[in-house]
Structure 1
Amino acid sequence: MKSVSRRQFVGGAAGVVASLSLPIRAWAASSPFKIAVISDEISQDFDHACSVIAKDFGLHYVELREMWGKNLQASSDAEIAEAQKILAKYDLQVTDIASPLFKVDWPGAPKSQYGSKGDMHGAQEVAYKQQDEVLARSISLAKQFKTDKIRCFDFWRLDDVAPYRAAINEKLRATADIVGQQGLLLVIENEFACNTATGREAAKVLNAIQSPHFALNWDAGNAVMRGELDAFPAGWDALPKNRIHHCHCKNAIKDASGKIVWSPVDKGYVDWTAQFRALKQAGYRDAVSLETHWRGAATPEASTRISWDGMKQALINSGTF
């Protein structure tokens, strides 16, 4: 073993102590990931949510979906201006616009049994013919909030998507081209109630749509909820790693009755320490965004704080925080 002088040892030890005493936001800034939280998972009060993210969690990034009881799609100019002031106040950057784009039935197909069931995060479920308006609004919001990513979905899940798969892929490809012309990236989330729900399904869609403007928002928790209990590592292994440009962090587990339910980040089928390590090894440098969904504590904020504790520990254990 190489010998170390007392001066080198003391100097090295002092460096470690100094790094440990750094403000938590300096720790977050040193991560290879853009560590974020979807603000409305904490509170509909955008100022309070941003305060928690920046001051209590020590983070630099936020994902936007709802504010003040409204989906971002319905925000007024005044509300957008106020949100921009709040972001500047807490020195937060926006990772992406978490839009409801294509969370609708595919035209001409049987009506999906999944539908919205009220799970639209403040957005009104509009018809397929109005999706161009949702897209235009999302592009505008991305530019106003200075982000280059727009999240979309893959239409409400069909019992048999095969007859419609090629047409759906073409719609996604054409939409990605529109987004790309604006200098933005369309990221499709694998969503348990939509046609692309698992890692294996996402891999097939990405393979079919070879567009530089089309990427994946990887959500291992959603894959588990759809029944892909081996979302990590098997679902993950199926994915082209260079096509992943956003990541949601949540977890799910089976309850006493055998039903899959949301759980805190550190309890469930997804080993987030291993997943974060795999992301780092794959060269991933985009956002990992906490999307708690679990509501086992007294309030959404309390639940998110518990999940953040688990997520933070997984980041530390994986060497990415």
Structure 2
Amino acid sequence: MWTLSGFADEIDPAPEIQFEVLTGLGIRHVEFRSAWGTNVLDLSDEQIAEIKRLLNQYGVALSAVGSPIGKVSVADDFDEHLRRFERAIWVAHELGAPYIRIFSFYPPTKGEDPTPHRDEVLRRMSALTDRIKGDDLVLGHENDLQLYGDTPDRALDLIESVGSEQLRQVWDPANFVLSGARPFTDGFAKLRPYLAYLQIKDAVAETGQVVPAGDGDGQIAETLRALKDDGFDGFFSMEPHLARAGHAGGFSGPELFGKATHAFTGLLDEQGISYQ
């Protein structure tokens, strides 16, 4: 049984509307990134308590804390970033999230090849995983653009070099397309042993346009088929980016979020895949 989730801040800044639309679509999990226009790690304790109350009210659970950890320059102060990571851990425990999404650091200069910064990236990623050793949390590395792990080969190098079972791959097919890869062809066999969580958006390689699942070059149908065949059981988090995409996230609105969700569940239905 596969489990649907979603970045509900793509629906609306207000969490009540986020959870109302999610549950109306049959989605009972959320990848919690922001509420009231504020990033999850910047919400006050009182705001987190209100989110907890609303989650209970709507019957929604967290699949992940959609944190921005690692989405900074590899040259930025890491001690300060570790303190921010502590907040992510606290929120995950407080709201019952099994995963914290993280990233693999930008090179100091925009557009620079991140490869020369490999050792420092690995040092930082190892420090993050060391911090949660013995905890039941898992860090999900997202292959976002222009960071060290934005290609299948560097994502594989990162996870294997850190060597922690608490660091797994979050598979984002659109980001692989936009990095110049063919996601399934170039990356699936390599990364499947470490693949624990998927974010669902698609993209057209020629134009860079983000589109609903199945309408782009993300090879999502092939990926779903392979996951079904090998018995995958995990989260699929809607992140449509159909109206706007930016550094801190995207936006779709209720209608486009619903369109993206129906496109994805249509692919699951075509392949006879059960989901909840």
Give the structure-1-normalised TM-score: 0.78
Give distance in 2, aligned partners of 1:162 and 1:226. Answer: 14
Change (3 A) 1:62 1:227: same
- Once the two structures are TM-superposed, the CA of residue 238 in structure 1 deviates from its matched residue by 2.1
**1:146 maps to 2:146:** no
Q: 2:82 is matched with which residue?
A: 132
**1:248 maps to 2:199:** yes
8 Å Cα contact 2:173/2:219 also seen in 1: no
AA aligned opposite 2:190? A
8 Å Cα contact 2:183/2:219 also seen in 1: no
- Once the two structures are TM-superposed, the CA of residue 133 in structure 1 deviates from its matched residue by 1.5
Question: For 1:173-227, what per-residue CA distance to the aligned partner results, in whole angstroms no more than 9, with x for missing partners?
Answer: 2211212333211111110131111223212222222112211111111111111
Give the structure-2-normalised TM-score: 0.90
Question: For 1:41-98, what per-residue CA distance to the aligned partner results, in whole angstroms no more than 9, with x for missing partners?
Answer: 11111111111111x2112211100111100111112211111111111211100111
Q: Secondary structure at the match of 1:260?
A: coil
RMSD: 1.9
**1:187 maps to 2:140:** yes
Change (3 A) 1:299 1:217: closer
Q: 2:247 is matched with which residue?
A: none
**1:174 maps to 2:127:** yes
8 Å Cα contact 2:240/2:252 also seen in 1: no
Q: 1:203 is matched with which residue?
A: 156
8 Å Cα contact 2:241/2:252 also seen in 1: no
Q: Secondary structure at the match of 1:191?
A: coil
**1:212 maps to 2:162:** no
8 Å Cα contact 2:74/2:120 also seen in 1: no
AA aligned opposite 2:176? A
Q: 2:190 aligns with which of 223, 238, 254?
A: 238
Q: 1:270 is matched with which residue?
A: 218
Q: 1:17 is matched with which residue?
A: none
**1:84 maps to 2:34:** no
Q: Secondary structure at the match of 2:67?
A: strand
8 Å Cα contact 2:10/2:252 also seen in 1: no
AA aligned opposite 1:177? D
**Identity of paired residues, percent?**
24
Give distance in 2, aligned partners of 1:35 and 1:249. Answer: 10
- Once the two structures are TM-superposed, the CA of residue 299 in structure 1 deviates from its matched residue by 5.6
Give distance in 1, aligned partners of 2:20 and 2:14. Answer: 10
Q: 2:248 is matched with which residue?
A: none
The unaligned stretches of length 5 or more in structure 2 are 245-250
8 Å Cα contact 2:33/2:67 also seen in 1: yes
8 Å Cα contact 1:148/1:184 also seen in 2: yes
AA aligned opposite 2:207? K
Q: 2:7 is matched with which residue?
A: 38
The unaligned stretches of length 5 or more in structure 1 are 1-31, 108-125
Q: 1:295 is matched with which residue?
A: 243
Give distance in 1, aligned partners of 2:3 and 2:212. Answer: 21
Q: 1:51 is matched with which residue?
A: 20
Question: Which fold has the larger relative contact order, with Cα–Cα distance below 8 Å and residues 6 or more apart in sequence?
Answer: 2
Moved runs in structure 1, 4+ residues, more than 3 A? 126-129
How many matched pairs?
265
Q: 1:227 aligns with which of 180, 196, 208?
A: 180
8 Å Cα contact 1:102/1:128 also seen in 2: no
Question: For 1:141-174, what per-residue CA distance to the aligned partner results, in whole angstroms no more than 9, with x for missing partners?
Answer: 0001111211110111462333321231122122
